[in-house]
Amino acid sequence: MLSRHVPGLAVLGAGRAPAPAEKTPAEASPGRADMDTAQWLNWRWQLRHMMTTADELARFVHLSDDERAGLAGSSHLFRVGVTPYYASLMDPDRDSCPVRMQAIPRMAEAEVRAEELADPLGEDSHRPVPTIVHKYPDRVLLLVVDRCGIYCRHCNRRRLVGGDDPPTHAELDAGLEYIRRTPRIRDVLISGGDPLLLSTARLDELLTRLRAIAHVETIRFGTRLPVVCPMRIDDELCAMLRRHHPVFVNTHFNHAKELTEQSSAACQRLVDAGIPVGNQAVLLRGVNSSVRSLRALMRGLLRTRVRPYYLFQGDTVLGTDHLRVPVETAMELWQGMRGWMTGMAVPQLVLDAPGGGGKVPIMPSYIVEHTAERLLVRTYRGAVVEYPQPRLRDCTVPYDDVYFAGHPADDDREGSAEAGLF
């Protein structure tokens, strides 16, 4: 499908890089040593030079046979694209490098199993308009762009991203109108693709329109650019976001190797602007599927002032069976963090239920016995401890009738209930 031109929708450097034959020698994707520091630190340059081919990636790493076969054999399934900055984090000699495993496909990605889904989270059945996903009662996803700064091999939205079908102005207007006409929406998560690929001016316009909707209380961004193109998080962007508080950012570090001086500085610029930053990691086999790796990641995030938020069990997306971790292993890994590290460093382990059921916590139970009189619990070290139950059981809050007088109860209908409005 050909990309649709959207007048005024500035997406800087976000397109798929042309094939090598279409580039002049000066435009070929260079290695880190090929340009001065100012050029390397220019985020627009980074995005213009995203690498998509084996020849380009070979400027940074010695590609294994499996990687070369993966690049050739999975090209019909999902795009390849990585910024030069993120490629520079790769171990050039070891294909087990966690950065390489997230960015470069392997042959196993071409093996699509019967249980794998193009839309594993059931988002398309909760899209009353093309740019809105409304699965939960009080919050929506607003999809503003269809491109990314990296095409992660575990991406659960690969059917939508790649730069082939960007939202039009009319579709974005319809999404904003849906939010305006649905008063139970209190929280808007701006996503895509990566929304920070939009120009700062375009983001400012979008946030201004959202802030004009009285019932929208919080605005969040889901972005991986602090990880793969930290240069994008500049002073201009942070100053603009600060004008629209409360604004929150969730990013996506999966390994401590990604916590560089540049990425840490990007996150700290956001925090210094009063923007809380959380992290949503995905548990990936061979990437971060060890207690040691997870502890290092979570501790590193806290040092960067990023709060570990979610640790996701891998979604059942096409071609990713080789990256998923057994659920029982995921729970064991989570147990290796809880209690052994500060609670602020321990994310919530969740599975996003296939088909649109939403996030389901899958933490192991620490309850050994539960009666009306007592609770027996197992501590993180394995000791069994008794907790006596209270004698009084009525937990009514009498003052609710006073404090909430005249306020209607929450509208908790399923998110897709408004689909017939448009």
Q: Residue 168 carries which side chain, given as an amino acid letter?
A: T
Between 124 and 22, residue with greater pLDDT? 124
If asked whether residues 154 and 88 sit together in one domain, one would say: no
Q: Residue 385 carries which side chain, given as an amino acid letter?
A: V
Domain contains 415: no
Categorize the per-residue pLDDT at 244 as very low, low, confident or very high, splitting at 50, 70 and 90. Answer: very high
Q: Which pLDDT value is given to residue 34?
A: 62
- Domains: count for the chain: 3
Taking Cα atoms as reference points, which of 324, 357, 312, 286 lies closest to residue 116? 324
If asked whether residues 27 and 50 sit together in one domain, one would say: yes
Domain contains 8: no
If asked whether residues 39 and 155 sit together in one domain, one would say: no
Residue 98 belongs to domain spanning: 20-110
Dump the DSSP string for 263-289.
Answer: HHHHHHHHHHTT--EEEEEE--TTTT-
- Quote the pTM value: 0.88
Domain contains 4: no
Domain contains 143: yes
Q: Are 197 and 222 in contact (CB under 8 A)?
A: no
**Per-residue pLDDT tens for 346-385?**
999 999 998 888 899 998 999 999 999 999 999 999 999 9
Q: How far apart are CA 168 and CA 155, in angstroms?
A: 23
Both structure tokens of 140: 């929506």
Domain contains 165: yes
Taking Cα atoms as reference points, which of 33, 71, 69 lies closest to residue 52? 71
If asked whether residues 70 and 159 sit together in one domain, one would say: no
If asked whether residues 183 and 304 sit together in one domain, one would say: yes
If asked whether residues 139 and 72 sit together in one domain, one would say: no
If asked whether residues 329 and 369 sit together in one domain, one would say: no
Domain contains 419: no
Taking Cα atoms as reference points, which of 162, 61, 138 lies closest to residue 417? 138
| Cis peptide upstream of residue 70 (ω within 30 degrees of 0) | no
If asked whether residues 38 and 148 sit together in one domain, one would say: no
Between 256 and 33, residue with greater pLDDT? 256
Categorize the per-residue pLDDT at 15 as very low, low, confident or very high, splitting at 50, 70 and 90. Answer: very low
Q: Which pLDDT value is given to residue 27?
A: 41
Both structure tokens of 240: 């603009």
Q: How far apart are CA 162 and CA 60, in angstroms?
A: 23
| Cis peptide upstream of residue 120 (ω within 30 degrees of 0) | no
Taking Cα atoms as reference points, which of 274, 230, 272, 273 lies closest to residue 251? 230
Lowest mean pLDDT among 3-17, 102-116, 148-162, 273-287: 3-17
Q: Are 249 and 279 in contact (CB under 8 A)?
A: no
Q: Which pLDDT value is given to residue 418?
A: 52
Q: How far apart are CA 363 and CA 365, in angstroms?
A: 6
If asked whether residues 78 and 147 sit together in one domain, one would say: no
**Per-residue pLDDT tens for 120-173?**
888 888 999 999 999 999 999 999 999 999 999 999 999 889 877 899 999 999
* Whether the predicted pLDDT of 31 surpasses 70: no
Q: Which pLDDT value is given to residue 35?
A: 65
Domain contains 422: no
Q: How far apart are CA 48 and CA 85, in angstroms?
A: 12
Q: How far apart are CA 227 and CA 262, in angstroms?
A: 9
If asked whether residues 259 and 131 sit together in one domain, one would say: yes
What percent of the chain shows pLDDT beyond 90?
A: 79
Q: How far apart are CA 245 and CA 235, in angstroms?
A: 16
* Whether the predicted pLDDT of 414 surpasses 70: yes
Question: Cα–Cα distances in Å, from 20 out to 24, 25, 56?
Answer: 8, 9, 8
Taking Cα atoms as reference points, which of 336, 292, 294 lies closest to residue 312? 294
What DSSP designation does 259 have?
-
If asked whether residues 343 and 384 sit together in one domain, one would say: no
The CATH number of residue 167's host domain is 3.20.20.70
If asked whether residues 47 and 101 sit together in one domain, one would say: yes
Domain contains 413: no
Q: Which pLDDT value is given to residue 77?
A: 85
Region for residue 10 given its phi and psi (left: phi exceeds 0; alpha: psi -120 to 50; beta: otherwise): beta
Q: Which pLDDT value is given to residue 1?
A: 28
